[in-house]
Structure 1
């Protein structure tokens, strides 16, 4: 543990050598002034106070010189403390900020398959408390290094003063180090367990917050509270165990220097009586042990925090060393090309990696081949678990296929640059995500070239301009965490407008309008099919269930168990594919059952009307 902990500290020093040098310089200055103050105090007592007591008077010049010496030493100590603390704090917070950014960037580089295997709460803990724990010993580290220099200087001073007093020091200082090593070894497993439980508590809390609606709907508040309380209780017990161990060792670490001071006084008194040392030397050594008591604790602080630091670093490095990122190519599609893109799946196979290495993976897609022609709308239809959302993720390269290719305009998406792919294709996910920010910020996302005019154009196309205009502050309205101030349909239209603001040539809708009224959904899809000039604005791949949505598609692809079973128009599949008929009819009937005031005939009329509009 000591070796690994010192390795983590060595990494910190290599990354911030200049700041560390400033902090250590301040600490060394402080340490040398501590030694100097001991001898100045000894000289003042031996050369000024004792003669003054014997003579009954003291000269003004001598007093002024003694005061100047004490003030000078104190000023230099203050300078040393300032440099040490400022440098140590700056180094610690700089490292924490840098590694939080590195962890976050790594999250963005790693594929979704890696995120599927790691709980969100754990990832939050890695980026926050684990990074903090990894660099926590940095604060006392310069002080500890300066203390080592001070101890070396103190031992040398002791030998110069008197060998017997030096032996007392040599007995006390190794005892302090040995006690700290024992402390570190006992503390290591406790700190590691506490750090792991912090992540688990964070994970459970995040799940509960994320699923607040489900928890309340199902009446599971008490059970969730009990689940959280059980793990929080384990964390409490782990931290109490850490505190108890600290409570045992801290007094011992505090006592040793005091015992050393007492031993120095006893041995020094004997040596003084024998004439081996003077009063000045005895006072200097005794005072030196007194002022060393606190600085020596800095070494204990570093060693005590090393187990926590190693535990945090292990969890952070697990993220930084994770493999599986999806490297982008160097092919760039013409950014000025206004034509809709062509999406092609050729023999695509995909399976999700297991959460643990010894478990089998889940095969989701096998030999999937289809094309979304330029400017056309293709509906992907199938039962739950058929792989539709996986197809949507593959289309915009959130994941890579295990077999086959996904191509845009004939170019494998793995060969495209990140910017080119982002400009060309956009995904509107099944579950809309809205940031705790303004409407404008949620749509623009700080992308260059997206001004208010572009934002309003995207909102109009997503049929969202009406409700946004009615908001208290319009585009400047704060929508709350995950869009809590908006309805489900409003959130979906906002995320659709976000995708449209970038003018993608390929739009992938993963059941992205399920919370929107069918008539509004029809208007949205009809608007997406045509640009202001009347021609196709983008190719569209839409995962759909509603007959009204499916009827707008130029072609329907029906999938079951990760394979394409049929393709054709909506009318053709209704006449030839029993599974397709059952699925579409069942969904349509479910809509009627959910709304008793809306009859089946009305649904049919809406669908028929959409057919005519096509």
Structure 2
């Protein structure tokens, strides 16, 4: 069955670790700690009438178990009555019928009780599962950039899904199966010992103990296959989602067959583990059947001898055997339940590991909302001796200082890897500086809430990512309360309105996965419209027109100049012609600001980095025009 997937252990665990999420570890979390986490989760679930539902569900479950033990006694009394000497056949029939009807009613009630209990408790399970999934999802979104740059989306999604489902399973199986079965064993042993002989109760306890111990031992052995299965399952999910998300790259390199082979190899791990697990499952079932039938045989023989000695009636023999059989019914799934409980604890722990990760960028306990400027919409952006070094790089930003005055445009230029994108991330507080400070209107960005900061700063990235939703939803994402007129105004400002009106479904056109139904230029214009709708105090343009043709770029540059009016703008550019009107240009190299000034000042600087780059670009442009 599909739940028995596996793979080669060392390879699978290594691959899962590379996926950015820890693979299931060999040791499960301490049981009491895991139970504590589960109880706390139920308490946070805000399920309706939580206490009443919990008490009612447990009461009905225990009542069902008690009635299940009582039912064989009623049937035994019916058989004894049938076998006893009665004055008339009518009396015998009526007595037997009365006991038989009573037995049927008791059995019916014992069957109804757990189902009614499940209905009563179902909202609690659902609320707990929903809370677990929502908390993990929200926390994962709040984790810092380093987490999201190393994670694999498919692996994280599978971890959250398995963890949330494990909460529902644990609540159902622990509260309403294993624990009530233990209570039923105590009741059955007590009834057998009290109604007949202590040896009958001892046999029931011994048989169940041997059954449980053997099942746990074999299930522990089989659990290793499930751990390996999770690693292979996570790897397969990561491989498939990566290939589907990056299908253009796969197709561009003709790697469809290679991607399919990689996925097939991951599924091959599942197949190998499944074969092992199925064989071990057959062994477990045979072992359980042997113990069950030996126990029933011993109980029947003992009851037969007692009946022969006149100490038990034929109905008592039937009742004793039926009580033991009723105990076996929930024990039939003991191996499955034990294995799944262990695995569910592991799945829940893997999910909780995500929620226990501390984001590197988090709101301070005393963080306040960033206030908008008293006049206009522009804010001052200041970097003071900022330093930051990525773990994967030998160098980073060093002693970067500049002031972007309100309402002005500051441009960042320099070769790839010079630190331009890092400055953008620091301004958005996607990263925190390791040295120095980043301030907006004189306030350290670490002292304000991230929500208010992101409301004041809008980014148009080089590669705009869109949701698989409508154009309206993607533009309106910046301001969910925006009306239709505001969305169309933003689209018009981004030179997008004619394009949208020409579409059969207009604003309701779906853009596809990551917006791939649109061209690169169209995606960027949607990104610009989204940023303009946010009405930010600081606008960051990270190569915002790089994917546009010359005519559209010229039009949008004109639009962006209007949008920049009254706002503080930070522009990352490679084409220097697009930032010639910037009040301040910073030239970066190897994480340092090596030149700064206005365009005319930098171009006039002999031997300067900016001047050399300007001459190279303008010479290339003139050569291209002559060739045309």
Correspondence list, 1:77-476, <5 A? 77-87=110-120, 89-133=122-166, 135-141=168-174, 142-160=176-194, 161-323=196-358, 324-328=360-364, 329-334=367-372, 337-353=375-391, 362-445=394-477, 447=479, 449-476=481-508
Distance, in Å, in 2 between the alignment partners of 1:297 and 1:336 is 72
Query: For the Cα contact (< 8 Å) 1:489–1:515, is it kept in 2?
Result: yes
Counterpart check, 1:567 vs 2:605? no
Query: For the Cα contact (< 8 Å) 2:378–2:568, is it kept in 1?
Result: yes
Once the two structures are superposed, residues 182-236 of structure 1 have per-residue CA deviations (whole angstroms, 9 ceiling, x without a partner) of 1342234332222222222222222212221111112222222222222222233
Query: For the Cα contact (< 8 Å) 1:208–1:224, is it kept in 2?
Result: yes
The size of the alignment, in residue pairs, is: 588
Tell me the equivalent position of 1:35: 69
Shift of residue 31, structure 1, vs aligned partner = 1.0
Distance, in Å, in 2 between the alignment partners of 1:54 and 1:513 is 104
Distance, in Å, in 2 between the alignment partners of 1:402 and 1:188 is 45
Give the structure-1-normalised TM-score. Answer: 0.88
Distance, in Å, in 1 between the alignment partners of 2:512 and 2:268 is 32
Query: For the Cα contact (< 8 Å) 1:380–1:388, is it kept in 2?
Result: yes
The SS at the match of 1:432 is coil
Tell me the equivalent position of 1:600: 625
Shift of residue 541, structure 1, vs aligned partner = 0.9
Task: Pick the aligned partner of 1:527 from 530, 535, 559.
Answer: 559
Shift of residue 119, structure 1, vs aligned partner = 2.6
Tell me the equivalent position of 1:606: none
Give the structure-2-normalised TM-score. Answer: 0.86
Shift of residue 153, structure 1, vs aligned partner = 0.1
The SS at the match of 2:479 is coil
Q: Which runs of 5+ in 1 are unaligned?
A: 355-360, 593-597, 604-614
Shift of residue 349, structure 1, vs aligned partner = 1.0
Shift of residue 446, structure 1, vs aligned partner = 7.7
Q: Which runs of 5+ in 2 are unaligned?
A: 1-26, 43-49
Counterpart check, 1:558 vs 2:587? yes
Shift of residue 143, structure 1, vs aligned partner = 1.6
Shift of residue 489, structure 1, vs aligned partner = 1.0
Tell me the equivalent position of 1:8: 34
Query: For the Cα contact (< 8 Å) 1:528–1:537, is it kept in 2?
Result: no
Query: For the Cα contact (< 8 Å) 1:143–1:298, is it kept in 2?
Result: no
Once the two structures are superposed, residues 503-541 of structure 1 have per-residue CA deviations (whole angstroms, 9 ceiling, x without a partner) of 00111111122111233223223223336xxx9232211
Shift of residue 36, structure 1, vs aligned partner = 1.1
Distance, in Å, in 1 between the alignment partners of 2:615 and 2:301 is 98
Task: Pick the aligned partner of 1:69 from 102, 110, 118.
Answer: 102
Distance, in Å, in 2 between the alignment partners of 1:515 and 1:410 is 35
Distance, in Å, in 1 between the alignment partners of 2:310 and 2:191 is 19
Distance, in Å, in 2 between the alignment partners of 1:53 and 1:548 is 113
Query: For the Cα contact (< 8 Å) 1:377–1:540, is it kept in 2?
Result: yes
Distance, in Å, in 1 between the alignment partners of 2:420 and 2:330 is 64
Shift of residue 283, structure 1, vs aligned partner = 0.9
Task: Pick the aligned partner of 1:503 from 525, 532, 535.
Answer: 535
Distance, in Å, in 1 between the alignment partners of 2:587 and 2:339 is 62
Query: For the Cα contact (< 8 Å) 1:380–1:559, is it kept in 2?
Result: yes
Shift of residue 424, structure 1, vs aligned partner = 1.3
Distance, in Å, in 1 between the alignment partners of 2:257 and 2:620 is 32
Once the two structures are superposed, residues 307-351 of structure 1 have per-residue CA deviations (whole angstroms, 9 ceiling, x without a partner) of 312321331122111123421421531376423122111111112
Distance, in Å, in 1 between the alignment partners of 2:621 and 2:180 is 74
